Structure formats: C-alpha cells, structure tokens
Amino acid sequence: MAYNILIGQSGGPTAAINATLSGIISSALENSEIDKIYGTINGIQGVLDERLINLRPYFKNKENLELLKATPSMALCSCRLKLFSEPDEVYETILNTFKKHSINVFFYIGGNDSMDTVLKLDKYFKEKEEDIRVIGVPKTIDNDLPCTDHTPGFGSAAKFVSTTMTEIALDSSAYNLPSVTVVEIMGRHAGWLTASTALARKVTGSAPQIICLPEMPFDLSDFLKKIRDTFITHKNIVVAVAEGIKTSDGVFLSEATQSGAIDAFGHKYISGAGKILENQIREKIGCKVRSIELNVLQRCSSHLCSETDINESVLVGKAAFDDALKGNSGIVAIIKRSSNDPYKVEYETADVSLIANKEKKVPIEWIDTYDVKKEMMEYLEPLVQGEAKFYFENGLPKYFSFD
Amino acid sequence: MAYNILIGQSGGPTAAINATLSGIISSALENSEIDKIYGTINGIQGVLDERLINLRPYFKNKENLELLKATPSMALCSCRLKLFSEPDEVYETILNTFKKHSINVFFYIGGNDSMDTVLKLDKYFKEKEEDIRVIGVPKTIDNDLPCTDHTPGFGSAAKFVSTTMTEIALDSSAYNLPSVTVVEIMGRHAGWLTASTALARKVTGSAPQIICLPEMPFDLSDFLKKIRDTFITHKNIVVAVAEGIKTSDGVFLSEATQSGAIDAFGHKYISGAGKILENQIREKIGCKVRSIELNVLQRCSSHLCSETDINESVLVGKAAFDDALKGNSGIVAIIKRSSNDPYKVEYETADVSLIANKEKKVPIEWIDTYDVKKEMMEYLEPLVQGEAKFYFENGLPKYFSFD
C-alpha cells in the first residue's frame, strides 16, 4: 500500500521541534511505501483552512534536512486551536481535508494540549471507521509530559539555561558589592527547567544558591530570610525562580500584577515572578538587586543545543514514523531511559489518553526546599551532553526556510 | 631594565575583556624585560586596598590563557570608583601601593569612565615626577569610545544580539496572529548595539522591521503610527529598541517609571523602555505583544563570541603592552580600520584626554528614522565574522578561574 502522510507542529516553539520534523521527513523519504509527504501550516488550523504543502521538493537537497535540525522555532508554524469535546463541523472539515488529500497518517508534534487534539481526532476517526492513523510526537521545554522519561526540546533548553546561568553568575560577581540576581525561568506548574539551573554549580561552585520551583509552596518572608542567611556565606547570590511559583493557597505570586487574561486552553497568562522578587528584595533588604527574565530565548536559542537532545528529537520522530507504519493510532512516541550510567534510551509508545492534558511535575522527594536533590542531578546530567551542530554563514546563522 | 607591571579591569563586563587581559599577560610572559606581573582585584579599588595578586603562577599552563579568552565577566573583577579631580589621600594611597610593589606600568582595561582614571593617574604621576606609565586599554559593548574605530567587546555583543534577534524573529512568527515583539537592548546614549540588530535581516529578510536608537528623538504617537503602518505589510513585527531612547526634550522614555537612583558616575539608572512600549502597544493597538530585555546576556554570553572581536581584543592588549615598553604613558591603545573590503585593522594609540569621559554616538547621517543606512551595515558586517572558540566539558562551559 502507498501511504500519504501529513505532519503538523503545535504549541510553543522549542529549539528541537524542527529536529523531530526532520526525523519524520527523513524516514518518509527513505521509505518506498510513502507517496505524498504533506506539511500543514499552523497545525490543525492549517488542516481546517486547507493550507497543506508538499514537503518532498524542499528536501531533495539533503542539506536542508540538516539545516532544519538547527533551525529555531517551528518551520511549519504553530496554532493553539482546541477542539471541542463533542465532534462538530470543525471535526467534519478536518476529516474532509484528510479525505480530499487521501491522508493515511497524521503526525502531530506538540505538548500536552496538542496531544488533546491527537486524542480527540483519533477517537473521532475510529468512530467514523476511517483508517486515518493519528500519532502524537512529544515536544516541550517544560518536560511536563507523563509516560516519557523526558521530552524532546527539554535537554536543549536545560543546556541553554544552565550555560547562561554560569555566565550570569560570573557577571554578577564582577563587583565587590553584595548583590542578588534573580533569574526567572519558564514553567507554570512544573519546575524541571528551573531545576536544571543546578547544573551550573558544576562550573560556578555555588550559584544558583537558591532555587524556587512551582512544586514547593512559596513563602515570601521565608524566602527573604533565606536570602539574608545566604549572605552570611555568599556575597553575590543568584536565585533561579520558576515563573509559576505559588503561595501555599496555590495562587501565582505574579497574579496580583497581571491582567487575568487567559489563553485558549484556559491557562492564566502569567509572568513577572522575578520582577516581584527583585522589588521585594530591594525594599526589604536594600542590597543591589537585578532580575533577568530569560523569556523566549530559553526555547528558541538553537545556537546552543544539546547534541543528545537534538539526536533524540530526530530519533523520536523516526520512531513515531515506524509506529505508524505498524498500524498504530492514538499513541504517542515516548523515550524510556533504560540505563543512566552509561546513559541509554529506547523508543516506545504510550496511549495518548495517558498524556493528553496531563502534567508531570517534579517529584516532591527530588526537591529540598530551595534546592534539588542528587536524584535530580543524576536525571539531568545526561540530557545536556554534547553540542549540536549549528551553521553560520558570514558570521550569522544559516537556517532552513520554506520561503 | 626589569619592569613590574600591574593590570586592572574596570566598568561593566564584556565577553571580550578577559581576552584583552590574556593578550597583555601573554606579551608580558614572552618578554624577558618583565619581572613581576600583577593583577589588581576590583580595579583601582584593589590598588587602594592593596589586593594585588601575582599572575605568573596561574599561566605557567598556557591552556589557562586560552580558557581565559573564552571566560565571561572579568577575571580580575571590577569597580566603579571615580577619583576626585584634585589629588587627595586616595591618590597618595594608590601611589604608595605602586611604589611599594615597584610598579612601572599600569594597564587599565575599561570604558569611558575607566579612562578617566587613566587620565587622572597619569597626570598625577607626571606632576609627582614618578616614572609610572599608565596605559588605557579599551573595552565596552556600547562601542561609544571616540578615536577607536570600534571597541573590543562590541563585535561579540553585536554577534550575540543579532543572532538572538534572528531566533526571536523566527519564534515570533510561529503563530498565525498579528504580533509585536519589542526587544530592548543596552545603550544609554549610543545606539551602536541596537543598530547591530539590522544584521539579523540578512537571515530573517525583514525583522527587525523597526529600530529605535537613542540618537533619534522618540515620539510615541509617531512610533505607534509606524507600528500600524508596518502591519500593512508584515504580520509579525519585531522592534529593536535601545534602553536609552529619549523624547525630543532629551528625557529618557523610561524615566517616569524609575526611582531616579544614580550611580557613582552620575548616570541615571534606567531600564524598561521595552516594557513601556509593550504596554503602550497593548493599550493603543490591542494586538498580541511581548517585550524581551536582553539584559546582561548581551555582555556576558561568551558561548557566542565573534572570532574577529576576540582576536582583536587579544591584539589590542598586546599593542598596549608594546606601547608601554616604548615609554608611552597617558595613552589608550586603539583600533584603526585601514580597509573595509578586505577588512583590515591596525593598532595605534590616542591621547587618553581625547577618550576619557567622552562618548561617540552613532552619526545621525547613518540613521534613517526607524532604520539604519548602508554605511552602518558596511561598518558592522566585518565585526561579527567568525565564531570564537568556546570550551565545554561534560556538556557545560569550562572557564578559567583564579579560585
């Protein structure tokens, strides 16, 4: 049988999501059973709008697959469309597009919310008795998907964040003045990426001295006491704080300063935990203080990616492809760590219902109030190993583009 | 004659200031006329406090000189001490430290303010008829020193800023929604670094579409009109804005939101121009908008340095060393561009009085309201060429340290 496949990307960008796209495309190009290789621009929204492109011509030149692996953001662009629980005309339009182009397999690369789309479409197609396989392929810098040991994209974000943390720590110690530098890191509910800053200590010795994860209830007066206590032994304190730290009532610290706007998935729009702590430290302690928000740099800095992560991101795409050709649907390709020393992973699958809309937080037993424990360090270390290839031309990056 | 030399670093960190330190040290190590090679911890403050260290033992291993070139921040640490215009007991204490350790040459690596120290100490030593040579060695990411074609440290900051700008631009275009991304870049009075974001267009095609430099009076309503006009042709707008943009009255846009605190040199502490524009765009235009402050990352990201800049930073240190041994004092080593195509520089000297406390702004004829002209592009391009060596060990940076 000849298969036509369609690939989409969804959710927030990572520096590795294009590597996964490249993995699926390269497997498809190598497989004689594959006829059409389509991409949808803007994920499921692009299916609705019938904005499909034929990917084959772009990758006749194999160099483009390599460039794609080193290209930030999402080559096929993203969306944040959420399907209703009950099938409606949106489902019908999607099905019509699939039928019109005789799509047999749909790969959707995304995070928790995108897996909701995989779950719903798979259920709908099965109910309609349509043989269209829907395969989820994970990505997220948040590392908050269940079932998989870690998510493609996390290792590169962790490498960028921990490297940048070493640079910030050295910068902050240039002056002979007591100072606090608060670095705010992405993560609404899961503190994996903030925890990864602990890796910086292998270089800095002690910074970041304080790590605040959203899994630990945050108490401002206790935090200020911790700062004062840390000044006894350290002149320049670096704090790593997750954007999503919450009080014991479960209220985001940053909530008071925000508009209360929510996104299409009902998430509150938050930011500013770092700025709030900066102001509190200045007011209550009075030392030199600065806050730094790593912002989108932590998800789009392709120039500093983990080789381990980029390789795995390609391979998880290839594993998803192989699963689809075995006849699977409604599943997500996952990474299983079979050994930590030496580090070794295998690619397996999990039912999408175990992943969609679910979040994997940092286990509380891996956290030590303002620090992380040995188990976390052992978990993190293999994920940032190696430096992925990045291409420069005349001193500036060289990327793949469909334009 | 046998010389004892002392080296200090001062002002804000750059990713290249340690490369200049390495240049001076390597020249000194190779020269048989040099006896003691001291470093002062925390610049001139360390001279006052007599915190000098013997550098020779650290660099018996030549690998350390290479690591030093790739180490962010300032290995000898910094200070922001400003000497009074009239010699006082501070000058005397400094002279006593110099005499006690028989220092013949003092190299001070820094920016405009540090050159003020070079100017004053040189004058004082000459008045006292002391044969102590004082040599300025330039550094600053701001690129705002007169006489020199450009400053060591600028090229690496420009490479980081323009590379990051390409990544942000791709990230911002992932969604099918009109959006504005405002990127705030360091620069109080001089817009060189903000202007360097124009290099990103060689990769992105059009982003950043709007560039706001402190040299051009900023009018908020005109800026908002420019955003609206740009939306006619671009869905995702990226704005590069200097922290120091000012109204036609010369008032910092950010002034209203700041505390009015000033530093030891009388500079107003400012930040927040990007956040102000973000809020204004959200309120007046209502589209999706985000602001990103590159913060200290633009001065400490050693992992992404211009090879051209790092090589020149070493060579300007070596040139300063050679000048000192010729008997010069009260001078600053500078870079002269003798040809742009092919790019070629020579190392010369300038009288420190022409540089201390002075600022070189972007020529107004190189600016085109919200853009820069061809002359600026031709000036910038050679400075970001090549990627400097950076060292990783087990997936994390490897730096030099005196600890």
Q: What is the pLDDT of residues B103-138, one digit of tens each?
A: 999 999 999 999 999 999 999 999 999 999 999 999
Is A141 touching B (CB cutoff 8 A)? Answer: no
Cβ contact B168–A78 (<8 Å): no
pLDDT in tens, A103-152: 999 999 999 999 999 999 999 999 999 999 999 999 999 999 999 999 99
pLDDT in tens, B174-206: 999 999 999 999 999 999 999 999 999 999 999
> What share of chain B has pLDDT > 70, as a percent?
96
* pLDDT exceeds cutoff 60 at B240: yes
Is A290 touching B (CB cutoff 8 A)? Answer: yes
Alpha-carbon distance of A236 to B257, in angstroms, equals: 26
* pLDDT exceeds cutoff 90 at A240: yes
* Residue A42: other Cβ atoms inside 10 A: 24
Given this model, what pLDDT does residue B269 score? 46
Which of B296, B301, B302 comes nearest A292 by C-beta? B296
Alpha-carbon distance of A38 to B176, in angstroms, equals: 19
Q: What is the mean pLDDT of residues B58-70?
A: 96
State the catalytic residue, choosing from B142, B149, B309, B323: B142
Q: What is the mean pLDDT of residues A85-94?
A: 96
Alpha-carbon distance of A331 to A323, in angstroms, equals: 9
Given this model, what pLDDT does residue A80 score? 87
Q: What is the mean pLDDT of residues B139-161?
A: 98
Cβ contact A170–B72 (<8 Å): yes
Alpha-carbon distance of A183 to B298, in angstroms, equals: 15
What is the nearest CA distance from B131 to chain A, expressed in angstroms?
A: 30
Cβ B152 vs Cβ B383: under 8 Å: no
When computed from its CA atoms, the radius of gyration of chain A, rounded to whole angstroms, is 22
Cβ A38 vs Cβ A5: under 8 Å: yes
* pLDDT exceeds cutoff 80 at A99: yes
Which of A79, A381, A399 comes nearest B176 by C-beta? A79
* pLDDT exceeds cutoff 90 at A263: no
Q: For all residues of chain B together, what is the average pLDDT?
A: 95
What is the nearest CA distance from B309 to chain A, expressed in angstroms?
A: 12
Chain A residues 326-355 within an 8 A CB cutoff of chain B: none
Indicate the pLDDT class of residue B262, thresholds 50, 70 and 90: low
Indicate the pLDDT class of residue B54, thresholds 50, 70 and 90: very high
With vertex at residue A60, the alpha carbon angle to CA A59 and CA A63, rounded to the nearest 5 degrees, is: 65
- Residue A318 DSSP SS3: helix
Alpha-carbon distance of A75 to A261, in angstroms, equals: 28
* pLDDT exceeds cutoff 80 at B254: no
Q: What is the DSSP letter of A243?
A: T
pLDDT in tens, B295-343: 999 999 999 999 999 999 999 999 999 999 999 999 999 999 999 999 9
Given this model, what pLDDT does residue B60 score? 92
Chain A positions touching B302 (Cβ under 8 A) are: 167
> Which amino acid does the sequence have at B16?
A
Q: For all residues of chain A together, what is the average pLDDT?
A: 95
Given this model, what pLDDT does residue B255 score? 78
Chain A positions touching B166 (Cβ under 8 A) are: 72, 396-397, 399
State the catalytic residue, choosing from A113, A116, A142, A309: A142
Q: Which of A216, A187, A159 is nearest to A381 (CA)?
A: A159
- Is residue A142 flagged as an active site residue? yes
Question: How many CA atoms are closer than 13 Å to the CA of A44, on its beta-carbon side?
Answer: 26
Q: What is the mean pLDDT of residues A275-281?
A: 92
Cβ neighbours of residue A284 closer than 8 Å, sequence gap 6 or more: A224
> Which amino acid does the sequence have at A154?
F
Indicate the pLDDT class of residue A254, thresholds 50, 70 and 90: confident
Strand arrangement of the beta sheet that strand A179-185 belongs to: A210-212, A236-242, A179-185, A288-293
Given this model, what pLDDT does residue B206 score? 97
Cβ B72 vs Cβ B7: under 8 Å: no
Indicate the pLDDT class of residue A255, thresholds 50, 70 and 90: confident
Dihedral sign for Cα A247, A253, A255, A257, please. positive
When computed from its CA atoms, the radius of gyration of chain B, rounded to whole angstroms, is 22
Q: Mutate which of A76, A238, A296, A378 to disrupt the B interface (most B C-beta within 10 Å)? A: A296
The DSSP result for B151-204, as a single string, is -TTHHHHHHHHHHHHHHHHHHHTSBSS-EEEEEEE--SS--HHHHGGGGGHHHH
| Token pair 């660099």: residue | B59
* pLDDT exceeds cutoff 60 at A270: no
Query: What's the farthest any 2 CA atoms get from each other in chain A?
Result: 71
The DSSP result for A137-198, as a single string, is EE--TT---SSSSS-TTHHHHHHHHHHHHHHHHHHHTSBSS-EEEEEEE--SS--HHHHGGG
Q: Is B262 exposed, middle or buried (0-12, 13-18, 19+ CB in 10 A)?
A: exposed
Indicate the pLDDT class of residue A269, thresholds 50, 70 and 90: very low
What is the nearest CA distance from A338 to chain B, expressed in angstroms?
A: 20
Cβ B331 vs Cβ B135: under 8 Å: yes
The ipTM value here is 0.96
Q: What are phi and psi of A221, to 5 degrees?
A: -70, -35
Indicate the pLDDT class of residue A11, thresholds 50, 70 and 90: very high
Q: What is the mean pLDDT of residues A208-214?
A: 98
Chain A positions touching B303 (Cβ under 8 A) are: 163, 167, 304
Given this model, what pLDDT does residue A1 score? 74
Given this model, what pLDDT does residue A272 score? 85
Alpha-carbon distance of B70 to B400, in angstroms, equals: 8
B289's enclosing H/E stretch is: strand B288-293
**pTM beyond cutoff 0.90:** yes
